Every structure is written in C-alpha cells, then in structure tokens.
Structure 1
Amino acid sequence: MVERAPRVRASELTGRNWLNTGGKELTWSDLRGKIVILDFWSFCCINCLHVLDELRPLEEEFSDILVTVGVHSPKFEHEADPEALAAAVDRYDLRHPVLDDPELGTWQAYTARAWPTLVVVDPEGYVVAHLSGEGHVQGLVSLVHELAEEHEAKGTLHRGSGPYVPRPKQEGVLSFPGKINALPAELRSPDADDQTYLVTDTGRHRVVELDSSLEKVLRAWGGNDKGYEDGTSDEARFNEPQGLAIVPERLRDSVGYDVLVADSVNHRLRGIELGTGKVSTVAGNGVQRLLDAEGARTGDPNVIDPAADPLTVSLSSPWDVLWSDAIEAFVVAMAGTHQIFSFDPVAGTVQVLAGTGAEGLLDGPAADAWFAQSSGLAQAPDGTVWVADSETSAVRKIAFDEGGPTVTSVVGQGLFDFGFRDGSSEEARLQHCLGVAVLPDQSVAIADTYNGAVRRWDPVAKELTTLARDLAEPSDVLLEDRGEGNDPLLLVVEANAHQVVRLPIPKEAQRVDEGASQTQRPPSLLAGDTLEIVSRFSAPTGQKLDDRWGDPTQLKVSATPPEFIVEGSGAQQGLTRTLTLNPDITDAVLHVTARAAACDGEPGGEIPDHAACHLYQQDWGIPVRVTGNEEDEHTMTLDLRGVN
C-alpha cells in the first residue's frame, strides 16, 4: 500500500478555459466517483511530453474509472496564448480534458514546483499522492488498483465514460511538420523534375518527400497511426519523427540507408533506404534513457560503453540530427537528457559528445557544459555545429579545437530568461528556438519558435536582428540554394500552419525591441542564511530501495549564479541537504536533481535474483528570492515520489 497522509480535500480547478470537454467547465462534482490524475504540464517541456506518453496506456487500461486532467501551467509567454495551447493539444493527440491555467492559480493551489507534477485524487475528492518527474507509471498502476478496490467496496467508485470530448481534426498536406532537408539529385523520386525536400510530417507520424512547390507529396514512409515498426514504406511506423539528415554518399552502401531520422517518441534513430523504401532501426533500444547502470551508481550520465551495440543503448527524445565533417559521425540533439550525442554508423558507436545532463546554460569544455532541451542543429563550413537550445532560448555553438570540443553561447541568458529583442549578445532575447541554418555569409538563421519569427545572428557584428515575423511556430529553417544568378531563399517549416513557406533573405533586417522577459512563475521566497532541501521518495508498492551497494539515493544541487551557494553544492548521497546561502545575493535559480533506485521486492526482504530495477529522477529549476523574513521558507520540500 502507498503510505497516505491525513486526507486533504482537493482544491478547486480554476483557470481561463477548458479544452477537450465540448465547452463544459469541469468541477469536482463532475469528477466525483472517478480516480483523477492532475497532470501539471507545459507544452515546451520535454519531460512533460514524456509523461503524456507514459499515461496513455494507463488511461486506456482504466478508461472506465480513471480521468486524467491536464493542467497547463505555462513557462513561456507564448504558452499562455490560448490558440497555441489548443494547437499543442491537437499536436500531441491529448485525449483527456485540459484546463488552461495561464495565471498559475491551480498550479499554486496544489503547490507544484516542477514540470511535470502529478497529483492523484480519490473518488471522494481527496488528494492521496503528489509526484514529480517521470517514471511513476508502475506505482500509479498499483495505486489505481488499490483505490479501485477500496472505493468499490465503499460504493463510492462510479464506472462509465469520462468527460473527454474530442476536438475536430485538422486536414491538409502536412500536420504539425517538424524538420526539413533537401534531397540530392540521386536520391529524389523518379517523378521529380526539380529539387525535392524531405519533411517530417510529425503530426501524422511519417516522413514525406515534397516536390519543389512544397505542396505535393511524392513519396511517404510511415503512416497516420503512431507506432514502432520496421519494414517497407507502408509497413513502417514512426512516433512523432523530428530531425533528419542525409547520409554522405560514400557511406550509403556500407551502412544500408540514405537518410537518418530522429524518431523522438520511440527514442530511436531510424534509417530509410529511399530506393527500396525500407525503414530500419539503427540505434536505440526504445527504452527512454535516464542513466545507464554504471551512471546510476556514479552519477555520471556520460558513461556509455564504447563497445555497446547501438541497438542496446537507451536514447531519450532525439530531436535533430546532422552529419558532422569534423568528427566523421552524426551529431544528435538528445533533447530528453539535455545533451548532444554522436553516432558513428561505421564504427557502430553511440557516445556523449557534449553536456553533463544537467539542465541549464553553462559554457566551456563540452564534457562540462550544460544544455536545456537542444532541438536544432546546423553545420558551418569550418565544422562548427550551431545548436538551438530551446529551454534556455539560446543559440550555442560547438567548436572542434585541438584541445577538444568547446561550447559557447552567442545569445541566451538562462532557463527563465527570454523575450523578443534585437541587439548584442547581452541585449538580445529569443523565446524557445527550435531550428538553425547557416546562411551564405556564415551568419545563422534561427527559427524563433515562440516569438513566431525568424531571426539572424551576425557573428561578425555580434548582433541579432529579425528577418520575418507573424509566423505560426516556425520549427525549422533551411537555406534554399537556387543556383547561380538567383538569390537564395529561406525555407521555413511553419508547424502550426501545417506548411513550409519560402522567405527572402533581405540585405537589411528590421530591428526589434519588445523587451526582455522572465518566466511569470513566481519565485520561492526564502528566509535566508541557510536552506534545507528535502526530497521525499516512497518506493511504489512491490518495490524496495536498492540498497545492495549502499545508499541508492542522491541529491545534486547547484545555482545560477554559482556563488549563491556558499556551502552545500554538488552531488552527494541522500535526499536531504543543508545549504549556506550568500547574503549578498537575493535572486537566483536553484538547480536540484534527485535520484533514487528501487527494485522489485518486498520492503524488509531480499531483492530477488534478476529483479527488475528502476531509476527515479527529477530535475528542478526553481527561481528563488531571499527576503530576510523569518516567516518565509527555511526548508524546501520536493517530492520525487511522495504523498501530499
């Protein structure tokens, strides 16, 4: 049984609007008799998208007694746009009611501190569990069974359909397209008489070849139903494919495919042999990567056995791919672990190229750098790889020097800083950028997604300017070389308009300054001097802490700026930590990662041989403000898996 705290009545669900209810505003009286999971999410957050997929089989298994209510709690300004939220509900095929909570009223009523947070409410309207992060499905299954038995016996469980009402579906050539790439002449469809383009038709879970008009599909791989299946173009199934890269011609015969696809929700890299239509899996075992077995013990997410078969390596939401001439391998934006990977198809190796796995913005040697949901890649002629780092609204670059790869940011300040402002590195602001492309003068075009704009970074002038506005969530950009005597154009994947459009590249760009912003999420108020961090964890029913090699829990704590923490930062075993705070700094962001390992087995007993083991992990980025008021927080409690 899950340990329960004294019963607390669930707070009212307040917000601006409801989606997927046919226009009805839901109250707890409408949900009485159902087990309810409140899923606090934002559509920018990769961890939230993981949880949406984790909950789908649970919702299907318990469809007559369980109702998921998505409480959308925005981080970015754009996410508070009701049309953008409605598009996200359609894009991610949500089949449960969604409450639009732009002012974070319900978020604060349930004391959520991180995206995602799950709150379980019993059929009588009482909170029974409060969970943060991913990986809680097994525990939720046990809890739902327990609640169903308990309330069936009491007569308080009501079976039957829930309040979900589907929305009308969009029709068109594309559905929420993700990324684009140009096909060389030898790989184009036999029906093509001009340049053609590969596009990930993400909303329909397929890859398509468009003709030069960008409006006609010549060939397609995959189908309208999400899934995972290798085989012919008709048999194959993808799940929200994103980035794609052309395999260098000299390697196509030896590796057996022409195009590499980042199959994001399947956590795999897939290969397509365009001539035969064959789709195959070339990397990833389909299990979402948190840490590998050794990394779980050492806390080092960079540990991948170089001899491991790529098909045995866990990946996490690969979002974009490109071939790097500098390292003779593919570069992969691994959004789910906030890292950059490499994949060598000849040697058959997957490795971490950059990033520790910590979520944030930190430059320096690639092995020490921090990224935040990197989602777009482009290569410059000198081999530099440009990165659209979406959650920090930043443009980063990876340079391959003699001393090893290094990471530098040209635009971006951190997890909670964004806006729409042209200017220098210090002044300029983006908002959740997803794509980058290198222009003929070596400047960089940026799909500034949540600003609905295309921006340009000039590395000589060191200035950001704006090329185009009023676009519907541009998710990628690609330079279109139209041959000698013709000015190049920019192809823009306009995801929420379900199309690819052409834009001129002007010689002079307009200057924009609509200001810099920070996330509207209110800071946690701290009394000051010291702060105790406590992460609560309770192993699910049927599991026990894996203490065979010592304490299986760990807290990793840091801050932006780093000097905010005088003592107590770093990674240590245990789920409690006392921090000494710098009295000269009042505003900061705390970065906390909690981990716990548990295995199948009964508490107090031995862990059976070959028992399945599970790693629970959650990252928090928490804006804080030191007030000096003794009534404010001295202890910050973060639920990795606990009860309310």
Structure 2
Amino acid sequence: MSTSAATPSAAARTPRTRAPELVGRRWVGTDGRALRLADLRGRFVLLDFWTSCCVNCLHVLDELRGLEERWAAELVVVGVHSPKFPHEAEPGVLDDAVRRYEVHHPVLDDADMTTWRAYAARAWPTLVLVDPTGYVVASLSGEGHADGLERLLGELVPEHEAAGTLVRGERLFTPLAEDADDDGLRFPSSVLPLPERLGGGLLVSDTGHHRLVVLDEDGRTVRRAVGGGGRGLVDGPAATARFAEPQGLCLLPADVAARTGVDVLVADTVNHAVRGVRLGADGGEVVTLAGTGRQLRRREGGGPALRQDLSTPWDVAWWDDQVVVAMAGVHQLWALEPGAAPADGTVRVLAGTSAEGLRDGDAEQAWFAQTSRLVPSADGAVLWVVDSETSALRRLERTGAPVDRSVHAVEDVRLANAAPVAAPGYRVTTVVGSGLFEFGDRDGEAGGALLQHPLGGAVLPDGSVAVADTYNGAVRRYDPTTGAVTTLVGDLAEPTGVAVVGEGEAAELVVVESRAHRVLRLPLTAGRVVGGSAGSVERPPTPLAPGAVALRVRFTPPTGQHLDDRWGSPVRVLVSATPADLLAAGDGAGEELGRDLVLRGTPGTRGVLHVSAQAAACDAPADGADDDALLGAACHLYQQDWGIPVVLGDDAPDELVLDLRGV
C-alpha cells in the first residue's frame, strides 16, 4: 500500500457515524452534573480518551490548552478517562489527576470503559471530534494533532455557521476544591538528601507548585524555595526562576559541580528541559543546561544541548561519568555531557529505539516504557532503571564494546543522529516485569514478582534496591544477591520517590507520598513477604480471523500539509506480538502504512498485537516556491503505539484498520 493510505476523497465516501452517548460512572469538573451530547448540540465536541499514567496523554493535555482557549465559544473539550491500571479506577484518584495536571474541562469517569467500547477506541490517547449536529468527523490516535485540529476547525466552523447549526456558548468547567495547603507541598514527586557542603536538609520536587523546596531533616519544615511557584521556563535567581512540573533530581559530584557551576540537576518535565541549580548563600540560581522548551517531534536527537528539543525528561542521574536522562516521552535514555558553561553541553541517545515496550539486549536495540527513575548502584557498575508502563525494574551495564553512536539503529531503519561519537556499549536486562499489560502486587522470586506502575527507587545500604511501587501504594525491596522481592511498607498514597538518610542502624527511609502531599521518614526494616495477586489490562479484544489479515493505518495529512518523501519514506510502522508466535508473518519494521499479516492460532486464541506508527507531514509551500522555502517548511510528526488485545475467530474480520489521523 502506498504511503497515502487515505485521501480526502476516500474519507468523504465514508458513511457518517452518529456519535454514541457519553456513559460512565460519574463526571468530574461539572459540579456533579451529568452531561449528555444533546446538552452540547450546536458546538463541536472533542473527546480526549486518556489515562493518567500515560505520558503521551499528558502531552495531549498540554497540546489542547491553546486550542481550548482559541475556540472556547465553539468547542467543548471533554476528557474521557478510561483507566489502564486498577488503581486509576479507585475513587478519588481521577479527581487528584485532574488537579495534578491542571485539567480545565469536564472529565467523564469511564471506569468500566463503557464509552471506550462505544467509540471503538484502541489506544491511549485517542481524540474524536464530533460536529455540532452530533456526527463524528475525525478520529485521531496519538499526539501531535493540535495543528491539524486547528486547521480542521478553521474549515468546519464557517461551514456550520453558514448552515445555522453552530451555537456558541461558554466554557464548561467547575474547578475542584483543593486539598493541599498553599504553603506546603502539592503532589511532590522526588526527594534528594543534600550533603553538609550544601547546608543539609531534603531537596524536594514540589511538582504541583512548579518549584523545588528545601525541607529540614524532619521532612515538614520548609527552609527555602527554589522557583517562584508559577508554571514557566525562566532562568535566573532562585526566587524568580520558574519550572513546569519538575520531577527527578540529581546531585552532581563536587568536582563536576565546581566545573559546571551547578550543584543539582532537575528534570523539568513539562518544559522538556534539564535545569541546573546552584544552591548558594546568596539565594542560588537556576540555569537551563539542555532543551529548548519545545517537545521533541523527530525520531533522532543529538548535538549541542541547548539547541536540541527534548521530550518529557522524567529523571536525571550521574552515572558512568555522564548525566543520564530518562527521556520518558520517547521511551529512551539519553546522555548529557555538561560543559564549563551551559552553551558547551552536548546530548546524545544512550539507549532505546523509541519503541515503547520491554525488550532486553544491546542498549541501542532495547525498548523502554516511560522510564521514571534512574538509580546508580553504590559501586557505579549498574544503573537501575524503573520503567513505569511495564511495571518493571531493569538494569543497565557497560559491556566494554565501543559503539558508533553517530548512527542510531531502529530495527532495520538507520537514522542520522549526530557527528561520529565513539561511546561505550551498554546492555539492558530485566529483573522484575514482563510487559506493557502485565502487572500486580506479588512478592517472591523476582521472575514472578509483580509491580503496578512504579515511579521511584533508591539503593539501600546493603546494596538492594527500594522501589516506590506507586499504584500498589507500597515500597518494595529487590535483593540482587537472592533474587527476591519483599515489601518494606504498604498503605501509602502513591509513593513516587524514596531515599535513604543516616547510616548503619540509624538509617531511615524517606518516602515521598505524592497524593498525601507529604514526605515521611520511616524505619528501614528487613521487609515482609506477601503473596499478592496478578493482573493484566482488561480491554475488549478485537476479533480477527486466523491466517491472513490486512493491516491498514489510515493517515490523512491536515489541509496545507503533505507527506514529504524527498529524503526517503515519511512513514514508519513497526509490528510485533505477545506472544511472539501469534505472528506467523508480517512482524518487524516497514516504510508503508499497510501490510499483510498472518496470525497463527485457532478460534479462541488470544494475544496482543503491538503496532507503532509514525508519519511526518510538512507544511506545503506556495506554488512555485524555491528550494529554500521547501527546506524551511515546518514539519509535524504524528505517532502512536497501539497494544491491541485480539481473539481469533472463524467468522471474524480479516482486516484491521487503525486511525492515526482518520478524517
């Protein structure tokens, strides 16, 4: 199939679909009022199917903010929260997610995924645009669609205005009452014990207040704040600098701090930047060391750190004489080498192909899934990696074999990355976790142990690893010498960060309890073994026929954009399956939006098809434009990873159609 898998004329022949009713457990942000599509008739309705654990969903929340403002009278954005993990369906968790991520539109609590099924959603995030007469006019998967939606509304709003079907109105949203104190913490995420040379105390990412705070050792008293408390990207004196949902923290070695002029690094998540903080007696200072403030929209990356876009850096760690950055937004690990001045730093891809999932092996071919915490071992031989979306604990080690990282290999597609770099090779192995859709709450032998969306970690004095098992509300312990997982403490409100203070018998565990807006100090006990339970993501399976199945990914570029193949194929599709033998043919990477699959099995066979699609569309220059105009045209990357549960059946369809951008 050609790369133009869908065209406007083909889309125009598609029968019109009446939007199904919005049905769920309750509504958030409406003051208890249940909304019906009939209540919204006359306005465009954009349904945003999301789940609070998904980094791509968080990207979409940010992308939609401007769209909501510009089309406030004509457009109603409605979040449909269809949870991936059981914890996300617990009462109150969605309310806190709306507060945490500053969602300012109504959200349907689709705890049983009723509306998800009605709209045949297959991935987080999915966007569905409904016109003022109640018909679906677009179905979009993944992120990066704000520009296309802007253009689509620019076309459709005048049409409905002329037809008399458009009725403008006020924005629909009732803010939720806050349960965090203004002068305390709000959804904190990470904690870093400071050495005496920096004044001691605990440095905490006060994520919900967009700042850092230094607490006394008791974890309660605020000594000082770093950041003015408002969302933004502003360098300068600590009192006026600004962050946007800062997460991970990293203490630089004293000699590196002296060379670079900063003491602590911060993963400034929503600013897509790595910031440096100098904690001086004069109040301190904040500087940007990597990132431009824009989200990375291309597959490759590397070069001068301040000229390189990043994608949701979630954590930072000093390991193997470099700063390792958990680039959660593209499911990779990057390396930052800071210079003597901010402008001198460089970045490059260290590990990961950008495919989301769990695959071990050589670092350049490994798969990660929203890495949330990086924990160097005491001897520096291992970097422990906490992957939230695969509920996994993994390890990165140097192999000693040099790798030319000037070219970053993604399956059989090789992408130019940066100038030739001779860098050490690394290898990834998994000790706890088995995939994107398997999770649970189980101690025991590591191969059978289960976590649920962990977000934090720390090395304990005996060399074992404490994991903040966030959605299980626990801190777990993995012992590399015995290969066993035990539980240190439970009944916590979303622990997201852990650290150790003190030594010997006086050592204590510091835990960031994010939903409780506090930091706890707890005794460091040996732990207990719990039997626990296993689970998997429960979504309705898609029936497919055994044998030959045609996969079609539909993509229609927005008006004014086109697929540009001047430097090769502008699309990429990667297909795999769990279990792997479900696919008898059709797996691997390709440069077309359609391919033939062969599914192995008999009626009743179940599995998961993993489809990752990317399409790059560029703004179309005016007719007769010269080469400079072509080279300068803005380009947009559309991408989505689907994990589709399937069940084989004799009378099931032999075609699977996925909408990357179906209009």
Instruction: Kindly indicate whether residue 246 of structure 2 is the aligned counterpart of residue 241 of structure 1.
Output: yes
Equivalent position amino acid for 1:289 in 2? L
Q: Is the 8 A contact 2:396 2:427 kept in 1?
A: yes
1:377 aligns with 2:374: yes
Q: Which residue of 2 aligns with 1:342?
A: 335
**Deviation per CA, 1:364-406, whole angstroms, max 9, x where unpaired?**
1111111111101111123211111100001101122324321
Q: Which of 420, 423, 426 in structure 1 is aligned with 2:444?
A: 423
1:507-546 CA deviation, whole Å, 9 max, x = no partner?
Answer: 3x22222311011112222211122110000111111111
Q: What is the aligned partner in structure 2 of residue 351 from structure 1?
A: 348
Q: Deviations over 1:420-471 (max 9, x none)?
A: 1111123211000011111111111110000011111111221111111110
State the TM-score, normalized to the length of structure 1: 0.93
Question: Aligned partners of 2:15, 2:581: CA distance in 1, in Å?
Answer: 40
Query: Equivalent residue for 2:481?
Result: 460
* Separation in structure 2 between the aligned mates of residue 464 and residue 625 of structure 1, nearest angstrom: 33
Give the Cα separation in 1 of the matches to 2:99 and 2:608: 33
Q: Distance in 2 between matches of 1:140 and 1:350?
A: 33
Residue 182 of structure 1 and its aligned partner are, at CA, apart by: 0.9
AA at the equivalent of 1:248: P
Alignment-derived partner of residue 205 in structure 1: 210
Q: Pick from 290, 301, 309: which aligns with 2:304?
A: 309
Distance (Å, rounded) in 1 between the aligned partners of 2:618 and 2:99: 37
Determine if the alignment matches structure 1 residue 488 to structure 2 residue 507.
yes
Distance (whole Å) between structure 2 residues aligned to residue 586 and residue 171 of structure 1: 48
Q: Which amino acid aligns with 2:321?
A: E
The match for 2:530 is 512
Give the conservation status (yes or no) of the 8 Å contact 1:290–1:337.
no
* Alpha-carbon shift at residue 251 of structure 1 (Å): 1.7
Task: For 1:510 and 1:370, locate their aligned partners in 2 and report how far apart those are by CA, in whole Å.
Answer: 32
2:606 to 577, 587, 595: 587
Displacement of 1:348 after TM fit? Answer: 2.2
How far 1:187 moved relative to its partner? 1.2
Aligned partner of 2:195 among 162, 184, 199: 184
Q: In structure 2, what is the equivalent of residue 66 of structure 1?
A: 75
Q: Secondary structure at the match of 1:315?
A: coil
Give the C-alpha shift of residue 604 in structure 1. Answer: 9.1
How far the C-alpha of 1:642 sits from its partner, in A, is 1.0
1:16-95 pair list within 5 angstroms: 16-95=25-104
2:293 corresponds to: 286
Aligned to 1:637: 657
2:621–2:633 Cα contact (<8 Å) kept: no
Structure 1 residue 625, shift from structure 2 partner: 2.5
Aligned residue in 2 for 1:613: 635
Q: Is the 8 A contact 2:180 2:517 kept in 1?
A: no
Task: Say which SS state the counterpart of residue 539 (structure 2) adopts.
Answer: coil
TM-score, scaled relative to structure 2: 0.90
Counterpart mapping for 1:399-414 below 5 A: 399-403=397-401, 404-414=425-435
What do the CA deviations read for 1:325-374 (whole angstroms, capped 9, x no partner)? xx201111111111111111137221222111111111111111111111
Which whole-Å CA distance do the structure 2 matches of 1:516 and 1:407 have between them? 25
Quote the offset at 1:550 in angstroms.
4.5
Alpha-carbon distance in 2 for matches of 1:412, 1:180? 25
Q: Which amino acid aligns with 2:444?
A: G
Distance in 1, Cα, partners of 2:621 & 2:233: 34
1:85-111 Cα deviation digits (max 9, x unpaired):
111111001000000001111011111
Distance in 2, Cα, partners of 1:179 & 1:493: 6
Partner of 1:196: 201
In structure 1, how many angstroms separate the alpha carbons of the residues matched to 2:655 and 2:194? 56
1:524 matched residue in structure 2? 542
Distance (Å, rounded) in 2 between the aligned partners of 1:50 and 1:93: 13
How big is each residue's C-alpha offset from its partner over 1:221-262, in whole Å with a ceiling of 9 and x where there is no partner? Answer: 223321111121232111100001112111223212111100
CA distance in 1, matches of 2:472, 2:540: 22
Question: What is the SS of the residue equivalent to 1:320?
Answer: strand
Secondary structure at 1:511's aligned position in 2?
coil
| Deviation by residue 1:251-307 (Cα, 9 ceiling, x = unmatched) | 22321211110000111001111114221110012221242xxxxxxxxx4x444xx
Which has the larger displacement, 417-426 or 130-139? 417-426
Match among 393, 396, 399 for residue 398 of structure 1:
396
Q: Which amino acid in 2 is paired with 1:478?
A: A
Q: Do 1:272 and 1:279's aligned partners in 2 also have CA atoms closer than 8 Å?
A: yes
Counterpart-to-counterpart distance in 2, 1:224 and 1:590 = 44
The amino acid across from 2:308 in the alignment is V
Structure 1: stretches of 5+ with no match in the other structure: 189-194, 292-300
Classify the secondary structure of the residue corresponding to 2:389: helix
C-alpha separation in 2, matches of 1:405 and 1:339? 13
Q: 1:177·1:498 contact (CA, 8 Å) conserved in 2?
A: yes
CA distance in 2, matches of 1:405, 1:8: 50
How far does residue 118 in structure 1 lie from its aligned partner after superposition? 0.2
Residue 638 of structure 1 aligns with an amino acid whose one-letter code is L
Aligned partner (choices 631, 638, 647) of residue 625 of structure 1 = 647
Helix, strand or coil: the match of 1:79? helix
Give the Å deviation of 1:611. Answer: 1.3
Q: Which residue of 2 aligns with 1:540?
A: 558
Counterpart CA distance in 2 for 1:322 and 1:602 is: 43
Task: Give the 5 Å matches for 1:592-603.
Answer: 592-601=611-620
CA distance in 1, matches of 2:620, 2:50: 32
Structure 2 letter corresponding to 1:624: V
| Unmatched tracts of structure 2, length 5 or more | 1-6, 402-424
TM-aligned CA distance change 1:78 to 1:349, over 3 Å: same
User: Do 1:453 and 1:469's aligned partners in 2 also have CA atoms closer than 8 Å?
Assistant: yes
State the distance in 1 between where 2:242 and 2:194 align.
22
User: 1:294 maps to which residue?
Assistant: none
What is the distance in 1 between the residues matched to 2:357 and 2:622? 37
Identify the residue that residue 333 of structure 1 maps to in structure 2. 326
Aligned with 1:364 (options 351, 361, 364): 361
SS in 2 for 1:343: strand
The answer to whether structure 1 residue 266 and structure 2 residue 258 are counterparts is no
Using the alignment, how far apart are the partners of 1:544 and 1:581 within structure 2? 33
Query: What is the distance in 2 between the residues matched to 1:516 and 1:603?
Result: 57
Deviation, structure 1 residue 603: 10
Matches within 5 A, 1:6-21: 6-21=15-30
Show the counterpart of 2:410.
none
Contact kept in structure 2, 1:35 and 1:147, CA below 8 Å: no
Asked if 2 retains the 8 angstrom alpha-carbon contact of 1:68 and 1:97, the reply is yes
In the alignment of these two chains, the number of paired residues is 618
Do the aligned partners of residues 127 and 602 (structure 1) sit closer, same or farther apart at CA in structure 2, a change above 3 Å counting? farther
C-alpha contact (below 8 Å) 1:39/1:116 kept by paired residues: yes
Kept in 1, the 8 Å contact 2:582–2:600? The answer is: yes
Q: Is the 8 A contact 1:45 1:115 kept in 2?
A: yes
Q: Which amino acid aligns with 1:625?
A: V
After TM superposition, give the deviation of residue 53 of structure 1 in Å: 0.3
Alpha-carbon deviation of 1:602?
6.8
Per-residue deviation, 1:144: 1.6
Check 1:604–1:119 CA distance in 2 against 1; reply closer, same or farther (3 A cut): farther
- Tell me which amino acid in the other structure corresponds to 2:520: V
Q: Equivalent residues in 2 for 1:213-252 (5 A)?
A: 213-252=218-257
- Partners of 2:218 and 2:521 within 8 A in 1: no
Q: Please identify, of 610-619 and 383-392, the stretch whose mean Cα deviation from structure 2 is larger.
A: 610-619
Match of 1:147 in 2: 156
Determine the C-alpha separation between the residues in 2 that align with 1:604 and 1:414.
49
Query: Would you identify which runs of 4 or more consecutive aligned residues in structure 1 move more than 6 Å?
Result: 602-607
Instruction: Describe the SS at the equivalent of 1:108.
Output: helix
2:417 aligns with none
